[in-house]
Amino acid sequence: MLRKQDYSLLEIARITGRPKSSVYFHIRNIPLSPRKYQKIHALNIQHLLRVARSRKGKSIREFKKIYRWNPENVSLVAHLLFDGEIKRSGCVYNNRNKILLKKVEVSMKKMYRFSPTRYYNPNTGVSRISYFNVALGNYMEQKAKELWQCLGELPLETKRSFLRAFFDDEGCIDFRPKTNSRRIRGYQKDIAILEHVSQALRNFGITSRIQKPNEVVITGRNNLIMFQKEIGFTAGVYINGNRSNSIWKKHLEKREILARAIHSYIKV
């Protein structure tokens, strides 16, 4: 009998051509030798390792790929870069502004149908949406590198989307009426990113300068007017009036402060 020769259930089924359920009925009370058990266990481990290696960096949670750059997917990748993270474990976006959080979530939903993990920090008022997916993280890392490489060749509408995402996340309008100081500032530790921003601004006729250690600065009436016309800030994106160094002492939309700064030139 095959079982007494130490053949496994699967081996007997293959040799006899009988269903495993039928074979099992006849051999269920005949145990395999300890050596055979160890061999089967080792083979199972090897199989599991092969499967794990083949699936490394892959996910059953599939997502749509970005085949061409348009304003929405440029904005999505930019937001994840500026106020978020793109890493191997997935994508994260942090902000206290509900409009920007919703904007990123809506765009992400179009390529990845699963809802994010949410976290809220009551001490800072900052919310976080996280998409944990290794394959998605790896893919978006590649797309972020691609965006930096081709940004200079993209149409103006996509560059506009990139710049608005940058200044929504990293920018502010520094207007001090008492000293007639008016400037748009954008912060970023990576100087290479600031150079990309400055170059993209030139495409819209906006002159800027990179001020070390970590900001791009726009000054001058014409430059501010061109920024307002061509780039602007997203409606509902405001400054935090509760900060101790706030000169306004209340929440104001960035675009409202920009309008006040431009209007103030008339009074000078």
Query: Could you tell me the CA-to-CA distances from 157 to 6, 58, 163, 189, 231 in Å, in that order?
Result: 71, 33, 10, 26, 10
Give the pLDDT of residue 209: 95
Percent of the chain with pLDDT over 90: 63
Residue 52 identity: A
Give residue-wise pLDDT tens across range 147-169.
999 999 999 999 999 999 999 99
Give residue-wise pLDDT tens across range 201-220.
999 999 999 998 899 999 99
Give the pLDDT of residue 236: 92
Distance CA 174, CA 182 (A): 6
Give residue-wise pLDDT tens across range 97-146.
999 999 999 999 999 999 999 999 998 889 999 999 999 999 999 999 99
Give the pLDDT of residue 49: 60
Is the domain 71-154 a CATH 3.40.47.10 member? no
> In three state form, how does the secondary structure of 155-197 look?
CHHHHHHHHHHHHHHHEEEEEEHHHCEEEEEEECCCHHHHHHH
DSSP conformation class of 231 = T
What does pLDDT average to over the chain?
86
Give the pLDDT of residue 138: 94
Give the pLDDT of residue 52: 53
Confidence check: pLDDT of 33 > 80: no
Our CA angle for 239, 233, 73, nearest 5°, is 120
Locate CATH 3.10.28.10 in the chain. 71-154, 165-267
Is the domain 165-267 a CATH 3.90.230.10 member? no
Distance CA 190, CA 38 (A): 55
**Alpha carbons within 13 A on the beta-carbon side of 203:** 20
Per-residue confidence at 251, pLDDT binned at 50, 70, 90? confident
Give the pLDDT of residue 54: 59
The whole-number average pLDDT for the span 86-91 is 92
Distance CA 37, CA 246 (A): 72
Per-residue confidence at 58, pLDDT binned at 50, 70, 90? low
Give the pLDDT of residue 212: 85
The whole-number average pLDDT for the span 36-41 is 68
pLDDT higher at 260 or 7: 260
- Which residue pairs from 69-72 have beta carbons closer than 8 angstroms and sit at least 24 positions apart in sequence? 69/147, 69/150, 69/154, 69/158, 70/158, 71/157, 71/158, 71/160, 71/161, 72/107, 72/110, 72/161
**Alpha carbons within 13 A on the beta-carbon side of 201:** 28
Per-residue confidence at 249, pLDDT binned at 50, 70, 90? low
Give the pLDDT of residue 213: 86
